[in-house]
Each structure stands twice: as structure tokens, then as C-alpha cells.
Copies of this chain bind each other. A is one copy, B any other.
């Protein structure tokens, strides 16, 4: 069967034509005024995306690189930190903190749920000397949103605590303005809502976080924020930058700022709502009790292996993600962040219906699509 491959995975994500063009252009040398100008412009536009005047650093690494930088540069060995550990990427914070000898308060949460506010208050009562709280804004492995504002209020009650947020699947999906939200360290990566291939990570840090740079005693070389910041402020980098990815980021930021962050956030809200409501209409259940707008985790019914469903979807050209660790075979994750419009959701829901039908699941063809269409019509009405 002739099919087009369509990517609905939470990274990598489809690339806009403007980005593809930028990536495919002839290389330019990075130690030139030409590159410097583009790089400064890209960084300035990233500040606009985050609505901040604070510096934003770009690393040639995957998102985990900037996550590592967050630990290396803003903490000291033995610092006590709270990890909101509610999925695969919560675990990653824990692994990083442990590797670099921080002391960990591990708040483990059932996958698919968010934290409990009372429990957080208990924890800070018990550990008033916390130096940091680590959290995912959007936990990609469980497609769950964690409220950031509350954690920012909490850390403000403590003596000397910073809030470190993994925004890898939230920047470009939500209005993530770290100055307003009270985020001290914010990390993101290129291969999600920034609509780029993997290879860039981005780091924001507050003035409160900056004060810690000189006292941090964890050895670091590649992810040295002080060293990198000194270079990047002048439009250069401490190490060879991922040149064409930066040319691509320059383009994708143009697209994002052209749409405008509030409108972009509203679009993602509707993409997510269409997906969630259609999935429920089909008769399936959502994994998350606090679903994020970046991707939708869907539990498959008893007796229907999620990975078989993914294979069936792939036959129709649709690549969605599966579950990780103990969720393997139990969920599919349908991404809708970045270069997606409403008609993409219509398509993936239609494919989901057909795939389920073919697997013998009792689905009423067209029901989910209709629901998604109706939500879209409502949205256009109020536009």
C-alpha cells in the first residue's frame, strides 16, 4: 500500500519547510561576523520566546546535556534537593543528581499522576534546607503536566532554594515565561516544539541561580555555564556550535514569534483537546490525570497490546510512540507539539479508528473524528 509516513512522536517531530531549507543550506563558518550576527539574533529571539532579558545559552547537545548543566553549575556536592519523580524524565533528574553527589529527597509518584500539594508542603517542612526542586513541566513519558507556579511559591518560602524545570516538551507548547513563573533554571531541547532535529539544548537561568555559579564545586568542562556565557554574550561559543541547527533554530523562532506565543499556546491547547476528546469518544482512556498539551498518552484496553496497535498504525503510515519501562505495551503516545495543525489531528484520529477496527476492537468508525471536527468548529467560531 502506498502510504506517506507521518510522524506523531514526542521527538523527533516533523520539520517545517522553512527549517528544512535552512538545515540543507551550504555550511557557513562559525568564526565569522556572519555567524555571530545570526547567533546573536537567534539568542535574542529565544529571549522573546521566554519573555525575558536574562541570558539564554545554547549548547550542542541533546536536551539531557542542558539537564546535566543544570546540576553541574548551580549546586554543590552534598546539596539537598527534591526530585519530583513522576516518570522517565523525573528519573533522569534523580540519576543526574545522584551521579554528581547531591543528596536526594525522592518524591516518587505513580506514572500518569502529578504531585500532591500537601505532600510537597510536608516535604519542605521536613527538609527546610532544600537547595533545589527538580521537576518536569511536561513529563513526556506519561504526557503529564506538573504545575510550576505552586512549586515556585514553595521554593520562595525556603532559605536558599532554586526551582529547576525541564521544559523540553513545554517550551513552545505553553507560555513558559520563567521570570513571571519564578523558574530559576529552565532547560529545553531542539527536537520537540522547537520543530528541529535533535542536537541543541537551551538553558535559561535566573539572577538567583547566577549567584551560585562561583560557589559551585562540581567539576565541569563542556557544560560550564560561566565559560559558555562569556562567549555567547558576544555571539560566539566555547566549543564548536552545531552550525546548521542554529540556522534552523533561527528560522523556527521566526515562525514561532510570527504566530505569537499566546496563540501558539492556544493552538496546542486545542490540538490536545481535540485529541483527548476524540480518544475518549472512541472509548479509550487517557493515561494521565493531569494531561499535558504536548502529547496524549492513551491506555489500550485489556487484551490489546499497545505495541501491536502502533504496528497497525504504522501500516497506515502513522508513527506514534509507545510506553516506556512498565508502561511498555500498555500505552501509545500521540504527539501534537510543534509543526501540527488541526487537520493533522483529524488524520491521526481517523487512522486510530481504522487501526483499532482492523484489530477487532469494537469501534464506531468516524465517531472520534466527528468529535474532533466539532471541537475545531467551536474553536473557529470564537476566533
Chain A interface (Cβ < 8 Å from any Cβ of B): 1-4, 6, 24, 259, 263-264, 267, 316-317, 339, 341-344, 346-347, 350-351, 353-354, 357-358, 365-367, 369-370, 373-374, 376-377, 380, 383
Contacts and interface: CB of A to CB of B under 8 A. Distances in A.
Contacts of A353: 373
A263 to B, nearest CB: 7
Contact of A366 (B24, B264, B366): B366
12 contacts: A2-B341, A316-B342, A316-B343, A343-B351, A346-B347, A354-B377, A357-B377, A358-B377, A365-B370, A366-B366, A366-B370, A369-B369
A6 to B, nearest CB: 7
Nearest to A16: B4
Which of A24, A264, A370 has the most chain B CB atoms inside 10 A of its CB? A370
Contacts of A267: 1-2
Nearest to A258: B2
A347 B341 contact: no
A380 B1 contact: yes
Given A2-B259, A2-B263, A263-B2, A370 B369 contact: yes
A263 B1 CA distance: 8
A373 B347 contact: no
Contact of A341 (B3, B367, B380): B3
Q: Which 10 A-B pairs have the closest CB atoms?
A: A366-B370, A346-B350, A4-B341, A365-B373, A366-B366, A3-B341, A369-B369, A2-B267, A343-B347, A347-B347
Contacts of A344: 4
Given A259-B2, A267-B2, A317-B341, A374 B365 contact: yes
A362 to B, nearest CB: 14
Contacts of A365: 370, 373-374, 377
Nearest to A367: B366
Contacts of A357: 377
Nearest to A353: B373
Contact of A1 (B3, B4, B383): B383
Nearest to A21: B24
Contacts of A24: 24
A354 B369 contact: no
A367 B339 CA distance: 28
B6 A343 contact: yes
A212 B367 CA distance: 61
Contacts of A347: 343, 346-347
A343 B317 contact: yes
Contacts of A351: 343
